[in-house]
A and B are shown apart, each in its own frame.
Chain A
Amino acid sequence: MTQLLLGNDAIALGMVQSGCRVMTAYPGTPSSEILAGVVKFKKKLGREIYTEWSASEKVAFEVALAASWSGLRAATAMKQVGLNVAADPLFSAAYTGVVGGFVIVPCDDPGPMSSQTEQDSRLMALTAKVPVFDPSTPAEALAMTQAAFELSERHCLPVILRPTTRVCHAVQSVDVPTAPAAAPNGHNAGFKKDPQRWAATPVFRLKLHNELNAKLADIEAEFEASPLNYSVNQPSAISHQPLGIIASGVVFTTAQEALAELGAEAPILKIGTPFPLPRKRAMEFIAQFERVLVLEEPDACIELQIPDRTRVNGRLDGTVPNAGELSPEIVMSVLAEALDRAGLPVPPPPDDAALSAIVQSLKIAPRRPRLCPGCSHRSAMFTMKRTFGPNAIYPGDIGCYSLGTNLRAIDTFVDMGAAVTMATGFYQAGRITGDKRPIVALIGDSTFIHSGIVPLANAVHTGARFVLLVLDNHTTAMTGTQPTPANDYTAEGDIATKISIPDIVRACGVKFVAVADPYDQEPFKALLEEAQAFTRAPEGGLAVIIADRPCVLYDDSPIEANPIPVVVTEDCDGCRYCVEAFECPALVLRADKSRVDIDYRICVECGQCIDACYKGFIVPQMSVVSTQ
């Protein structure tokens, strides 16, 4: 049956059809829809699968790993930087191996579009010595998910399926094979003790390393003949030709289209298994050409493994840009140049710049992403800025509130949990340099549980003093409102035990712990001042305030229960203070800049902007009606 499938749904369906029994994930763009897809398809196909939104990628990895060691097929998904968090178990599990097929899906983000790096998970696989599949389309991702489970089980080794954003978020009409009535079940034998493997000490680890090398050699031999690696436009007789192309992932489809447009029939070797690279196959292909161009994303994984690169061009020698997404425009120009250098005349590529110059001259301002109308983070950060001013140091973290950079309420973000550790470091550095500026760190609820707790224990233990603001909006908002351990329900909506963030904070030894609604801006400000005073008091220490208010996309019932419609009075003089310092998308400066209007199509009537006009020109609607 032909079905319209999102790439992430295709991967999910592949997992369910392959008899995956345990699936775990931590949300992160572009991977977040995979687990939701597994929940959807398991219900549709009536399969029993344990799913879990884990507290972090490392947790997700290890929970799934234990299932595999128990003989079950298991999988885990995350964004590419999530694999950094799970790197520790990844490297170890490569040595120990697995029992039930174990598939890891880290989703790469060339661009980057919503990540802090453009790192290549295939290179992570290469370093960890784990084989990797690299799908070009949702349809191929579905097929490769099944192949990955089989390979993993055959060689008792974790396998990585590595899609990129353009596969995860592509929607394709896919011919879905009918699900087998009973899915293969792994070995299903339960955990069998084998201390020399599952609890291997360094002596045994050397043996396991040699075993791993042998497995990889076998897998490379298998990949030499794999149908996932194939050539297109291959000339029938082996002859010496000017240009050949090796491509993988989305760039393979982009290159095919560009070549067709250019009317050039350059042969392409499509690589579906970039590590271990079938080197014999690659060298045989390369031998047919004067020059070979390698196209892959986001870094050079295939190119790096080619034993002899004398005739090879790619990212390593600068022929292909070594940062950013390989867009159709870039692929077209790289190909046209390569064909030209190879002495293959191509017509000039069709003009794609006919309108660009004129549109550029209009200088249309980029529409930057902003916090939603009514977002509780805005209220918390606005009040924080009013309390501590522009000089305080504001270490931030990963989540919607990263957009607080627009409000100049975030000075740093590094990775998950770094708000707490960076604040600790700034405090210790300040003691050395004599820097007395207040330090106010911001972290979300999901991020706090993911990576903030250990840093907090460390900060309390070492005597660091700063204010930590836990922005608790009851959900993982940025990635589509997935539950955290502080919610009382699971990925499938079943009842779960809710853990308490204030209790965790207290248990870390924090003596100043307060929970407050950031919508009550004045009391919230008083509390911030009290917390700051505590960090300076002789008997004081680290202070934590939990800003407690649900994300409006997740739960707008508190606003529905108490809507506060507002108006901007006639006195507004267009000073733009509210637009810049508060930045609600519903506060719009008129085109002639004379005043601010409220865009009632998107205003949620939270009433939070009333204090954003210090001149008092934003008022509740009722008060206008009553004074008229």
Chain B
Amino acid sequence: MELKLILAGIGGQGVVFATKVLSQAAMGRGERVMASENHGMSQRGGSVMSHVKIGGSEAPLIRRGTADALVAFDRVEAMRSLPFVRAGGSVYVNSVNGLDPAVMARLTELGIGVFSVEADACARELGAPAVTNLVVLGFAAAHSGLGLSVDDLKNSPKRNHSYRQRGLRVRP
């Protein structure tokens, strides 16, 4: 089965790290993976997006309107990345109040489901505010949006790596 996923967030939120967790988990299931990361200038607090293709083609980028799911660690970045999602796809977003009402009607028309999770609060409760990215990823997996289970994610060899970046310390 081919799955095209977009991960979106802000520099410092660990988009690249989440991409690795996801890719390793998919590989653990014996899938072929092709993902495209964002480096350089984009890491100084700019928008960061990565494209992940599981069991699909070797082309690194996903064309607009063809992603099966969008996993967003930030509400504004979710809005910005919406054009990538295909009709019938899903959006998993870290948000306390879903997406902007202005887009909801069109999303419903296109059969795109929006699932939001208050990941910042969850992560704070866990005592690890920096794991927001993993909370959203786990949430999407639990909704079967990634073609992978939460256990697959847990088995990803990347999960134990340090997410803490010096100088971008996240404090409660």
The interface of chain A, by Cβ under 8 A from chain B, is 2, 4, 6, 29-30, 32, 113-114, 136-137, 139, 166-167, 169-173, 250, 253-254, 256-258, 260, 327-329, 332, 350-356, 358-359, 361-362, 364, 366-374, 400, 403, 478-479, 551-556, 585, 600-604
Contacts and interface: CB of A to CB of B under 8 A. Distances in A.
B79 A362 contact: yes
Contacts of A601: 129, 170-171
B58 interface: yes
B103 A137 contact: no
Given A350-B65, A352-B63, A367 B102 contact: no
A218 B21 CA distance: 46
12 contacts: A4-B23, A29-B39, A30-B40, A166-B61, A171-B36, A173-B31, A355-B103, A355-B110, A359-B80, A364-B76, A364-B80, A403-B44
Q: Which of B36, B42, B76 has the most CB of A within 10 A?
A: B36
A329 B34 contact: no
B170 to A, nearest CB: 5
Interface in B101-123: 102-103, 106-107, 110
B58 A136 contact: yes
A171 B44 contact: no
Contacts of B167: 372-374, 551-554, 556, 604
A2 B80 CA distance: 35
A620 B43 CA distance: 29
B65 A352 contact: yes
Nearest to A28: B40
A230 B62 CA distance: 25
B43 to A, nearest CB: 8
B110 A602 contact: no
A113 B10 contact: no
B61 A169 contact: no
Contacts of A169: 36-39
Q: Which of B33, B41, B59, B169 has the most CB of A within 10 A?
A: B59
Contacts of B171: 600-601, 603
Interface stretch (B82-90, B136-144, B145-153): B82-90
Interface residues of chain A: helix, strand, loop or mixed (majority): loop
B168 A355 contact: no
A358 B107 CA distance: 10
Interface string B11-33: 11000000110011001000111
A6 B16 CA distance: 11
Given A171-B34, A172-B35, A256-B58, 13 more contacts: A166-B36, A170-B36, A171-B23, A172-B58, A253-B58, A350-B65, A354-B83, A358-B106, A366-B47, A367-B46, A372-B168, A552-B166, A602-B170
A254 B58 CA distance: 8
A369 B39 CA distance: 12
A4 B30 CA distance: 12
A6 B12 CA distance: 20
Q: Which of B11, B58, B79, B87 has the most CB of A within 10 A?
A: B58
B33 to A, nearest CB: 5
B59 A257 contact: yes
Given A171-B20, A552-B166, A355 B65 contact: yes
Contacts of A400: 44
B45 interface: yes
A473 to B, nearest CB: 11
B127 interface: no
Given A171-B19, A359-B82, A362-B103, A6 B44 contact: no
Contacts of A553: 165-168
A342 to B, nearest CB: 22
B61 A254 contact: yes
B103 A359 contact: yes
B15 to A, nearest CB: 12
B44 A354 contact: no
B100 interface: yes
B40 A371 contact: no
